[in-house]
Structure 1
Amino acid sequence: MRYLNISGYKFVQIDNPIILEKHFRHLANSLGIRGTILVGSEGLNISLAGEKEAVYQFIDSLYADQRFTGLKFKESWSSSIPFRRLRIRIKEEIVTMRVEGIEPAKKTGKYLPAEKLKKWLDENREFALLDTRNDYEHKIGSFNKAIDLNIENFRDFPEKVKALPDELKKKPLVMFCTGGIRCEKAAVYCLENGFEEVYQLEDGIIKYFEKCGGAHWRGECFVFDNRVAVKPDLSETEKKYCLACFEILTLEELKSDKFAFNRYCPHCYTENQSVNCMIEG
C-alpha cells in the first residue's frame, strides 16, 4: 500500500488554538492519520500522512473552516507512514524566528513559481539564491548556486543575514526552504533590513521537485519525518544517513564496530561517541 504525505501551512489569525488542537486530535485519530500539527495564534503548520481517502477527508474538514480556505498542500507518497505517532502542539510561532513585528499574514516577499526559478537558472540570470534552511539540510542537498548561511537553527537567520555583503541588497534575492514556511518570515526580515527586491520560491523545494525535477539541484532534500530525505522525483531516499553528522553511510560502515544504532557512526565516532546518531532509509 502507498500512503499519502501532505505538508502545508497558512498564516492567519487564530483566537482559539486550544479548541482547534482538540478538534484536530479527535479528527486525525478517528482517521488513523499520523504526523505533526503546530497550532498558534499566527496560523497552522501541518505535516501528516495516512491512507489517501483519510487524508483527503481531513483536508475537506479543514477547508470547511473559512479561515483555512486557500491553504495549499504539497503531496508525496511513501510505502509506509513516516511518522511514529500524532503530535499536535500549541506554539507561539508556527515557525520560530523570535523577531517582533514579523507578520507574514500582512506582508511577505514576492512568490516566484518553480518554473520561473528554473528559467532564471537556465538563463544564468544575475541574482542571489539564498538557502534559509539549517546547515545539515544544505549538506544533504541544495541548489548548485545557493548561498549557505551555515545556520544551526532558523532562529539564527537574522544574525547570519546581517553578515551578508551589502552589495547583495541591490541584487534580486531569491530564497528557498523545504515547503515555503520559513521563507515567509525570512522574506519579511530581509525586506525590512535593506534588501530591495526579495522573492521566495513558491511552495518550496518540494513543489520545485514536482514541477522541475532535479534541474540545477545537487543531492536530495531533507524532510522532517522518518524518510529522512526525498529524491528529486519525490520518492524516499535509498541512502542511509547518519543524523548526527549527516554523512551518507556505506554497507561496510553500517557493519563497522564504530557504528552503533542511535549512538554514532564511523564519521563522528572519534568526535563524540555519545552523539545521537540515527539511521533511516
Structure 2
Amino acid sequence: MNTASPSILNVSCYKFVALPDAAVLRDLLHARATAAGLKGTVLLAEEGINFFLAGPAGAVRGFVEALRADPRFADLDPKESWSATVPFRKMRVKVKREIIRMDHPAIRPEDGRAPSVDPTTLRHWLAQGHDDTGRPVVTLDTRNAFEVDQGTFDNAIDWRIAKFTDFPPALRAHKESLQDKTVVSFCTGGIRCEKAAILMREEGLSHVYQLEGGILKYFELTDGAHYHGGCFVFDERAVLAPDLSAEGPQAPGVREGNAINK
C-alpha cells in the first residue's frame, strides 16, 4: 500500500476557442510540457483545447501560466487534485477534429455558451428540490454508461449511452420528458455537458444549464452531497472520491492513453 503523501498536482481544463493554428501549437506545447517534466494529454482542435496534466506543482502551474500569456487562454481555470504519484506514463499532445467528439458540427461552443450553474447553486437546488423559480430540477448524466456505474447524482437521468456520439439521438428520443423542467447536464470536467447543453437548447429545451466545471469542480467546491459513489477518470487513479482522493482500481479495458478531461 502506497502511504506517500500526495505531492503530485493533477490539473484538468478545457476551453472552446477558435484555434486555426492548432498544428503549430501542438509542437510548441509538446516541447514546453516535456521540458517541464510533465505527463498527461493535451488535445487541440480548431474548436479549442482540452488537457489533463500531472507533475510537481510549480511545473504544472508554470505551464498553465505560460498558456495564459496567450490571450485566447487568459481565463483558463483548471480543476486541481493531488496524488502520490503521476497517474500518466507519457506526455501526449495531439491535434484532433474535435476536442470532444460529438459528430454534430453545428455545435460551436466558442460562438456562445449555454447558461451554466455553479456547484454551490446546484447543491442548493438539489437540497430544496427545485430551482430558484420553483421549477423542478433534474440532473442529466452525459457520460458513458460504465462511467455512470462508478457514481452519479442521486436520481440522475442516465440514458445508458456507450459513447458521446450517442447523445444526440438519445436526446431526440427523450426530450419530451424534459419539457417544463430545469435540466442540469453534467459530466466529469465540463466539456461534454457544455456541448450537450448547447444541443438541448438548439433542440428547443428552454431551461437548460451545464454544471460549471463538472463533477470534479462539484467535489472541489462542495461536500459532495446528493452524489453517490465516485467519479471515473481516464487515468491510473481510476475513480476519485468526493474528497478527490483515488478510491478504485482501473476499470477493465480503459487505457491510460485515453486520459483526458471529459
Asked whether the two chains share a fold, i.e. TM above 0.5, the reply is: yes
Of residues 59, 67, 71, the one that matches 1:62 is: 67
Q: What's the offset of the Cα at 1:241? A: 4.9
Q: Does 1:133 align with 2:143?
A: yes
Given the two structures, how large is their TM-score scaled by the length of structure 2? 0.90
Structure whose alpha-carbon radius of gyration is higher: 1
Of residues 174, 178, 187, the one that matches 2:188 is: 178
1:100-143 deviation digits (Å, cap 9, x = unpaired) = 21011112321101001000111022122100000011000000
Q: Does 1:149 align with 2:159?
A: yes
Amino acid at match of 1:144: D
**Counterparts of 2:156 and 2:88 in 1: how far apart (Å)?**
30
**Counterparts of 2:129 and 2:164 in 1: how far apart (Å)?**
28
Q: 1:241 to 1:19 in 2, by over 3 A?
A: closer
Q: Does 1:205 align with 2:215?
A: yes
Residue in structure 2 matched with residue 84 of structure 1 by the alignment: 89
- Return 5+ residue gaps in structure 1 as ranges: 247-261, 263-281
Q: For 1:2-41, what aligned pairs fall within 5 Å after superposition?
A: 2-41=7-46
**Counterparts of 1:128 and 1:45 in 2: how far apart (Å)?**
27
Q: What's the offset of the Cα at 1:165? A: 5.0
Amino acid at match of 1:150: R
| Identical counterparts, % of pairs | 43
**Counterparts of 1:241 and 1:56 in 2: how far apart (Å)?**
27
Given the two structures, how large is their TM-score scaled by the length of structure 1? 0.84
Q: What's the offset of the Cα at 1:196? A: 1.2
Question: The residue matched to 2:174 in structure 1 has which SS?
Answer: coil
**Counterparts of 1:70 and 1:216 in 2: how far apart (Å)?**
29
**2:237, 2:250 within 8 Å by CA — same for their partners in 1?**
no
Amino acid at match of 2:138: A
**Counterparts of 2:58 and 2:28 in 1: how far apart (Å)?**
19
1:16-57 deviation digits (Å, cap 9, x = unpaired) = 111100001100110100000001111100100000110011
Question: The residue matched to 2:109 in structure 1 has which SS?
Answer: coil
Q: Does 1:51 align with 2:56?
A: yes
Q: Does 1:243 align with 2:241?
A: no
**Counterparts of 1:112 and 1:89 in 2: how far apart (Å)?**
30
**Counterparts of 1:59 and 1:13 in 2: how far apart (Å)?**
18
Of residues 74, 77, 85, the one that matches 2:79 is: 74
**Counterparts of 1:242 and 1:202 in 2: how far apart (Å)?**
26
Q: What's the offset of the Cα at 1:170? A: 2.1
Question: The residue matched to 2:108 in structure 1 has which SS?
Answer: coil
Which segment drifts farther, 118-127 or 43-52?
118-127
Question: The residue matched to 1:142 in structure 2 has which SS?
Answer: strand
Question: The residue matched to 1:8 in structure 2 has which SS?
Answer: strand
Amino acid at match of 2:153: F
The total of aligned residue pairs comes to 245
Amino acid at match of 1:5: N
1:60-82 deviation digits (Å, cap 9, x = unpaired) = 11011111111110000000000
Higher relative contact order (CA 8 A, sep 6+): 2
Residue in structure 1 matched with residue 99 of structure 2 by the alignment: 94
Q: What's the offset of the Cα at 1:224? A: 1.0
1:138-161 deviation digits (Å, cap 9, x = unpaired) = 000000120001011001000111
**Counterparts of 1:100 and 1:23 in 2: how far apart (Å)?**
27
Question: The residue matched to 1:170 in structure 2 has which SS?
Answer: coil
Residue in structure 1 matched with residue 205 of structure 2 by the alignment: 195
Question: The residue matched to 2:178 in structure 1 has which SS?
Answer: helix
Of residues 119, 136, 141, the one that matches 1:114 is: 119
Q: What's the offset of the Cα at 1:183? A: 1.3
Question: The residue matched to 1:151 in structure 2 has which SS?
Answer: coil
**2:141, 2:187 within 8 Å by CA — same for their partners in 1?**
yes
**Counterparts of 1:10 and 1:240 in 2: how far apart (Å)?**
30
